Structure 1
Amino acid sequence: MTSKNNPKAFPLNLPEGDAELLLDELQTRLREGRRLFAEVGQILAEIESRGVRDLYGYNSIAAFYEHVARVPRAEAQRVTGRALALNSRRARDGTTIDPVAPLTGESASTGALAEAGIDRIVTVMKRLPDHLDADERLEAEKGLVELAGVARPRDVTMAGTDLLARHDPDGKPKDDPEPKRQRSEFWLRQKRTGRWDMRGNLDPETGARLNALLVPRAYPAPGEVADDRAPAERRGDAFAEIVDLAEAGPDIPAPRQTAERVTEEPQPAQPSEEPASRPKPTQMPPQGRQSPYRGSGEGVQESAATERSRNVAHLRPPRWWARLSRPRSGNAAQPHKPLTA
């Protein structure tokens, strides 16, 4: 079967067999496209001078070009950075900002340089040392521009490396930042369902200590009855048990004194004959799931721990619950949010 897909005529209607003419037409179109793209950079520099926020409401010229040209953000940053480095512009106070590579910008406006070669030249010009005068910088840039017009970008990179080695053999000193001290972090918040969500980032020592407390208590319950809890549920029950033991400890810290508590006048002690009229803090039931697989001996410990946890009110300042339940001025109708860590 004969194919009916006949090759279409060349759009430019060039004669066949003329390789030199095809190459010349290709270079002409490339040069014209680069020249037009250089004019795009000039327009972007002018928009930056007039203020892209005042003109179009964008925070940066890169974000503006990203939306207008419909290009990725990385490409928009490269294009706008190249435009600002090749063209002079005005600052907000009216002063003129000179381009980083003025000769490169002039050559790019004729379409003689490719974008990759321009980026290499701009990188070298930014890394040149400050002790070079204007004539030396122009001479160095002139050699790179002439090379970029006839060579590949990798050749421009090698020439720029040699140029930096001659003018700045030691290179710029690199700052040796001090190691950042990472502190432990912990977040705790209550969801709408009443459950609590927590996450954290602990140092190695604290994490190892917490893991040593969790692992023995997160083993499956021994006995004939199979433990149907998932590993995460066993760890949750183990964490709830650790919270019970910590709350029942004798060294539980009291709430910190606030400025309001310090300014209060001390209340005289009531005689022992009068019945205690001071309200007791309400014991909130544990919201976490209690493990049903604890032995009978642990039940006695739980009852003793619960009894000790009820007697920790003497460690807190008097009337601390009244101060927390006192409505704030202007927000009396709004309920108090739960205290989170």
Structure 2
Amino acid sequence: MTSTNIPKAFPLNLPEGDAELLLEELQTRLREGRRLVAEVGQILAEIESRGVRDLYGHNSIAVFYEHVARVPRAEAQRVTGRALALNSRRARDGTSIAPVAPLTGTAAATGALAEASIDRIVTVMKRLPEHVTASARLEAEKGLVELACVARPRDVTVAGTELLAQLDPDGKPKDDPAPQRRRSEFWLRQKRTGRWDMRGDLDAETGARLNALLVPRAYPAPDGGADDRSPAERRGDAFSEIVELAETGPDIPMPRKSSEQVAEQPQAAEPAEEPANRPKPAQAPPQGRQGPSRSGGVQDPARNVAHLRPARWWARLSRPRAGNPAQPPKPLTA
């Protein structure tokens, strides 16, 4: 069954061929729509004054508008930011907060300004320095509003830039951020195949030291035979050799212990007093590498070993190997 609800060509019953009437009706609808949008901003400012959390349970007016109007978060932030900048409101303590652009809010309530032009005027008013007097601010805003009623948003931007150049020629001082120290990072991950994938971001000194260890060991075979390894494979073999030498070295650092682990370990019990004439049992000679004792030669099992640091074993590893005394000079890069 065919529907008979066919919309007419002109729902407003406008006569055909009258271009001036069409333009006038279009401008009327645009002004009416912008006026309604301004009223929505006034309502949002009043909700912010009364407390959006107390009224509806939302953390901010932007989140509230996002759910009510069913719009994206970015659009909700633009609409609510524009509403709070054009309308006065009350703070939680009852004090009144003046709008950023009061004249713009008055003109927006009549539907004479587009949203893009309003945003550009608000941006200029926020960037005006504090030393500009109130009368100068009102005069500057008045000129921008009059221009926005008849011009495009790009023209308002140009006029606002010129206005800022006149009222604030030096501009806002740019903060000189302190240089941030980037720490070295290293990632090691085992894949399903059993092999290990590593990735890192080292500082200049650590990278140069690692490169100095890899370069002498990443040369092709010194016997003059054909070396079918790729440069990446030679560097992998060199890295494996460095790990092996570091693991078997005498100065390998002991595992570090956190403060929690140290606190959980039981302390050695105090020995009970024994008769003076009782012979002491013979002590076995120490085995392996022993650290400095603390009190009376008694080794504390719960001592913190985080202060131990390995010796410069990398200096020993970076010496030229005996099997390859003379190597051709090559650029130091891995």
Q: TM-score, normalised by structure 1?
A: 0.66
Question: Residues 248-259 of structure 1: matches in 2 within 5 Å?
Answer: 248-254=248-254
Contact kept, 8 Å, 2:63 with 2:73, in 1: the verdict is yes
**Counterpart residue number, 2:181:** 181
> How many angstroms does 1:103 deviate by?
0.8
Distance 2:9 2:258 in 1: 88
**Counterpart residue number, 1:204:** 204
Q: Structure 1 residues 100 and 184, CA, compared in 2 at 3 Å: closer, same or farther?
A: same
**Counterpart residue number, 1:104:** 104
Correspondence for 2:290 among 306, 314, 318:
314
Contact kept, 8 Å, 1:254 with 1:316, in 2: the verdict is no
Q: Structure 1 residues 219 and 39, CA, compared in 2 at 3 Å: closer, same or farther?
A: farther
**Counterpart residue number, 1:132:** 132
> How many angstroms does 1:53 deviate by?
2.9
Deviates more, 1:101-110 or 1:135-144: 135-144
**Counterpart residue number, 1:168:** 168
Q: Structure 1 residues 323 and 176, CA, compared in 2 at 3 Å: closer, same or farther?
A: closer
Report the AA paired with residue 46 of structure 2.
E
Indicate the percent of aligned positions where both proteins have the same amino acid: 76
Q: Structure 1 residues 14 and 257, CA, compared in 2 at 3 Å: closer, same or farther?
A: closer
> How many angstroms does 1:102 deviate by?
0.6
Q: Structure 1 residues 219 and 92, CA, compared in 2 at 3 Å: closer, same or farther?
A: farther
Distance 1:26 1:78 in 2: 25
| 1:53-91 Cα shifts (integer Å, max 9, x gaps) | 333333322233233323333222221211111111122
**Structure 1 counterpart SS, 2:290:** helix
Report the AA paired with residue 82 of structure 2.
R
**Structure 2 counterpart SS, 1:111:** coil
Residue 33 (structure 2) pairs with residue 57 (structure 1): no
Q: Structure 1 residues 85 and 258, CA, compared in 2 at 3 Å: closer, same or farther?
A: closer
| 1:194-237 Cα shifts (integer Å, max 9, x gaps) | 9988754321332344356567878999999x99xxx7x99888
Distance 2:122 2:158 in 1: 14
| 1:70-128 Cα shifts (integer Å, max 9, x gaps) | 33332222212111111111222221111100110111011110011101110111111
Q: Structure 1 residues 75 and 241, CA, compared in 2 at 3 Å: closer, same or farther?
A: farther
> How many angstroms does 1:138 deviate by?
1.2
Distance 1:203 1:73 in 2: 40
Residue ranges of structure 1 left out of the alignment (5+ in a row): 1-5, 279-310, 325-341
**Counterpart residue number, 2:81:** 81
Q: Structure 1 residues 52 and 204, CA, compared in 2 at 3 Å: closer, same or farther?
A: farther
Distance 2:107 2:239 in 1: 69
For these two proteins, the number of residue pairs brought into alignment is 281
Contact kept, 8 Å, 1:214 with 1:239, in 2: the verdict is yes
| 1:157-182 Cα shifts (integer Å, max 9, x gaps) | 12212222221222222222232221
Q: CA RMSD in A?
A: 4.4
| 1:139-196 Cα shifts (integer Å, max 9, x gaps) | 11111111111111111112212222221222222222232221223467899xx998
Q: Structure 1 residues 7 and 266, CA, compared in 2 at 3 Å: closer, same or farther?
A: closer
Distance 1:237 1:153 in 2: 64
Contact kept, 8 Å, 2:41 with 2:80, in 1: the verdict is yes
